[in-house]
Structure 1
Amino acid sequence: MHVYIGSACPWLDEHIKGFIQARVPNAVFFDNFEDFPLESEENFQWCDGWELNRNFTVLNNAKKTGLINAYPSSDALARKDYLARVVDYWRAKRPDSILATHVPLTVRLSLDYAEYVDEALTAADDLTLLYGLEENEALEPKDRTWWILKPALVDCGAGIRIFSTVDELAGYLELAEYEYDDDEDESTEEEEEEKWEKNSVTLSLPGLDSLDGLITTASSLSLSDEKAKAKQGQLMRAKKPQYVFKANGRIPSAQMREFVAQQYVVAIPPVEGKKWHVRAYALSVGRLKVHVFRELLALLACENYQPPWENPSLRSSLTNTALQDEDEFTENESMRDFWSTAVPEDLIPSLGKNWKDNVWDQICEVTGDLFRAAAHTMADKFTTVDKCFELFAVDYLVDTKGQIWLLEVNETPAFYNHGKAGPLALRLMESVVAVTLEHMGKVSEEKDDAEVRKRLVKVLDETDKLPKSNIAEILPEDSSFC
């Protein structure tokens, strides 16, 4: 079995190789993908997502079997507007689904300039947001329904705002008559590049846009074709995000357009005075089995929690670790093991001492139903293929009643080698390797993986329920690659 490991978190690579080596002793590892044979009997790839075109080509050419750590498309889960649509589709015909009561009310919005926010609210599929904002005008801030605005495509907490009125929402958006500093036009290319590196954020869909074309005809890509490589490099450079977010500045809404407004959950039980959420890791394998990692993370905000009308600071209201410097979340222990976090047993009085077990049960049920919904309602945006697996981070908020609320799903999640998070990531990677190799038929006779596999709890198996897939190969959309 030929193996290439070049994950998005390089510090994990050697550990992943060790986990594979322990189970497949005769595996051949390649550190440079240029040396990877175009054709092989079996191959296993763990990539960072930027050069999936060539990685899928190698997967296609495996004579026996292969496995790669990304589906052709997982937009239905990772894009916030598509995720909202999946939930709407699913619970429209299944009102008894758990998604109906564990996903905050979410409205999809197409926004551009602040001057046209009224038209955007009127054109939304759901007028609940428009009516709610109008009603809020006559209410005191503490009596209002609050909303959180999220760009559909951007991660790392960039562009998120909290609002309760139409004027507040408009105040966050770009103006049609935006005034630019004349000096900016005279900046050099090097200065612009430096500015981009400092202020830009990463799109949540690295390199996957060009894989929307799923072609079943046979073809191949030569990795040595310099012209193809140059074309691929141009495409990668073209994907450089242009969105620049300045502190407390307006969102570049005219460039982004697609947003969601999600009802903000105000009543939460603080831990050590801070807002927090639970991060669960979901492993989706083939077509389609979903597992949830038994070990969970509790992610804390960096400032003490106050409701948004008392403290509008995002550092108090949001638990995204991207809003914190590395020194901050290390010093404050913002990433903790959920099960061992020292919290009062009566944190959620209605559930008593077993409130963590109750939260875990809800996470398993909601996650399973969410992936089922995505696979059945938006198969073109969640394209499950037997030779693929993918690891997602699913974020949940816990309210004062112990009910969990789905916040978002992150593909290619970041793993930090700090505190509790580092050892947890290693145990997760070992379990992912054990389960995925078993999917390939690689069950080690020398190493007992029973306990390692048990860390991943199966919450969904749609193998016999999804229609048969006719996807034989995954090729780039751009024909110049072929």
Structure 2
Amino acid sequence: MYAYVKGACPWLDEHIKSCVRQYVSDVIFVNHIVSIRPSAATVFQFCSGENLGRHFNVMNAAETALINAYPNSDALARKDCLARAVEYWTAKRPDSILKDHVPITVRLSLDYSEYVDDALAAADDLTLLYSLEDNENKAASEREWWILKPAILDCGAGIRIFSTVEELASNLELAANLEEEDDEQSEEVQEPNGKRVLDTERQGDDWRSGVSPSLSLPGLDSLDAMITTTGNLSVNGSRGKLHRDSAAQQCACEDSGRIPSAQMREFVAQRYIVSVPPLENRKWHIRSYALSVGRLKVHVYREMLALLALDDQKPPWDDPGAGSFLTNTAIQNEDQYVSKESMRDFWQTPDDLLTGDWKARTFDQICAISAEVFRAAAHTMSDKFTTLDKCFGLFALDFLVDTSGTVWLLEVNETPVFYEHGFAGALAQRLMESVICVAMEHMGNSRLEDSQNSAVRVRMVEVLDETEKLGKSSITEIVPQV
């Protein structure tokens, strides 16, 4: 067996290699994908999301192969696609657990603050519009609150909370040098040289940063979830050209704090869960890990993280800063999340935080919700969750527990980032042991008669097996986009 290991978190690579050796002692590790012989019969790949086309070519050629990426996982990793998958699934299955365990989510196409009213009215679901209108005459503490999230950005970039149309508009950038109310209608004018051009084209240099209100970035809507917690999306000097920044950088906002919405466009507005039991007076959420293998088995890892916000929890009407309502550790620097212990063992949280055996009930809900959301994505949006027998994926699912003990699925992250420090670092290593165990089992190299391997395997709980229900895939190879 040939193996290529170069993941999104390099500090885990050697540990992953040692795990593979536990099952295939004579495995040949290569440092470059081109080093794998074309005649190689068995290939295992654990790589980052860059240059996947070449990696899929190697997978196609091998008789037995496994790679840690699906051709497309947008149905889970893109927030707007996930909302659509849940909507489709629950429309015909009102008894689905997703109906009462995913906050109401409205998909929005937003550009500039001047056009928020139009965007709300054009949304497929008018729940948000009616809610914001009802909030106008209510005291802030009595309103229904919402949280705005860019559809394809992670690391907490561009997330805001709001309760009125005015508050939503204030989060978006203003259109620069607009002289007409409708930026979609442009006038043709004649230049001195006789050439006829669009008025917006002539004024193009006047738009801030060279971005016009009607800008549409080619490929942005179809961009897959390879741009996740390992890097952020940004736009360079030429229109429509995308590149990745380091994970430490956040999506750049104006000095006013407004979101550069003309560069993103696709958002979701999700009902904000206000009543969350604080952990040491800080808001927190659960990060669970789900392993999806082939077509389609899903496993949930028993160990989970409790991720805490940086600052003390405050209600949304007190205008809290991001450090209060955002539990994403990406907005915290190393000194902060280490000194304040922002990443902890979920199973060691206080037993009296909620009534009864609330942690066991929480895990049971997480398993059921995870199974259902993967089933929904696979059956309703197979074009955006393309499952193949030679592929697997590790996803991080974020959950919130409210004061009644109800678990809410917030989002799904593909290619999650792992931190070396403290409990999170130790969990990441144990998680990789179980991931490789299940992967080798899928390739026919389980060796579960070994007690050590068996102990590693039981940490993964199988919650879904759709192998027979999905049937055989008609896809025979993955061809890179030209």
| Fold match by TM threshold 0.5 | yes
Shift of 1:38: 3.5
The CA distance in 2 between the partners of 1:445 and 1:83, in whole Å, is 35
Which amino acid in structure 1 is aligned with residue 329 of structure 2?
A: T
Tell me the CA shift for residue 318 of structure 1: 1.0
Question: Please, which of 350, 358, 363 is the counterpart of residue 361 of structure 2?
Answer: 358
Q: Which runs of 5+ in 1 are unaligned?
A: 187-202, 209-233
| Displaced runs of 4 or more, over 2 A | 32-39, 178-182, 203-208, 236-248, 443-448
State whether structure 2 residue 51 is matched by structure 1 residue 51. Answer: yes
SS of the counterpart of 2:147? strand
| Distance in 1, Cα, partners of 2:94 & 2:109 | 27
Distance 1:421 1:465 in 2: 36
Q: State the match for 1:386 in structure 2.
A: 389
Corresponding residue for residue 297 of structure 1? 305
Which residue identity is paired with 1:291?
H
How far off its partner does 1:248 sit? 5.3
Corresponding residue for 2:159? 160
2:233 matched residue in structure 1: none
Q: Which moved more, 1:303-312 or 1:44-53?
A: 303-312
Q: Which runs of 5+ in 2 are unaligned?
A: 179-203, 211-222, 229-237
In structure 1, the partner of 2:315 is: 307
**CA spacing shift, 1:259–1:237, aligned 2, 3 Å:** closer
Per-residue CA distance 1:391-437 (angstroms, 9 max, x = gap): 00000000000101100000000000111001111110000101111
Measure the CA separation in 2 of the matches of 1:105 and 1:363. Answer: 18
| Residue aligned with 1:304, SS | coil
Counting only pairs closer than 5 Å after superposition, residues 460-475 of structure 1 correspond to structure 2 as 460-475=464-479
State which of 322, 333, 340 in structure 2 corresponds to 1:325: 333
Aligned to 1:211: none
Shift in Å, 1:240: 4.1
The 1:403/1:27 distance shift into structure 2, 3 A limit, reads same
Q: Report the counterpart of residue 109 of structure 2 in structure 1.
A: 110
Counterpart of 1:333, as a letter, is: E
Kindly provide the amino acid, as one letter, of the partner of residue 389 in structure 1: F
2:411 is matched with 408
Counterpart-to-counterpart distance in 2, 1:262 and 1:15? 38
Does the 8 Å contact 1:7/1:46 carry over to 2? Answer: yes
Alignment partner of 1:30 is 2:30: yes
1:134-213 correspondence runs (5 A): 134-177=133-176, 205-206=225-226
SS in 2 for 1:443: coil
RMSD across aligned C-alpha pairs, in angstroms?
2.3
Aligned residues: 429
Distance 2:309 2:433 in 1: 29
Alignment partner, residue 94 of structure 1: 93
Per the alignment, residue 347 of structure 1 pairs with 353
Deviations 1:19-41 (A, max 9, x none): 00121001000123342323411
1:311 shift after superposition: 3.7
TM, length-normalised to structure 1? 0.85
Asked if the contact 1:204/1:411 (under 8 Å) is kept, the reply is no
1:477 CA displacement: 1.8
Q: Distance in 2 between matches of 1:87 and 1:382?
A: 13
What is the CA distance between 1:323 and its match in structure 2?
A: 1.1
Q: Within 5 A, what are the aligned runs for 1:411-430?
A: 411-430=414-433
Whole-Å Cα distance in 1 between the matches of residues 270 and 255 of structure 2? Answer: 22
In 1: Cα distance, 2:254 partner to 2:359 partner: 38
CA distance in 2, matches of 1:185, 1:300: 36
Report the equivalent of 2:213. none
**TM-score, normalising length from structure 2?**
0.85
Give % identity. 60
Distance 1:452 1:471, change over 3 A: same
The residue that corresponds to 1:60 in the other structure is: 60
- Of the candidates 395, 400, 404, which is equivalent to residue 397 of structure 1? 400
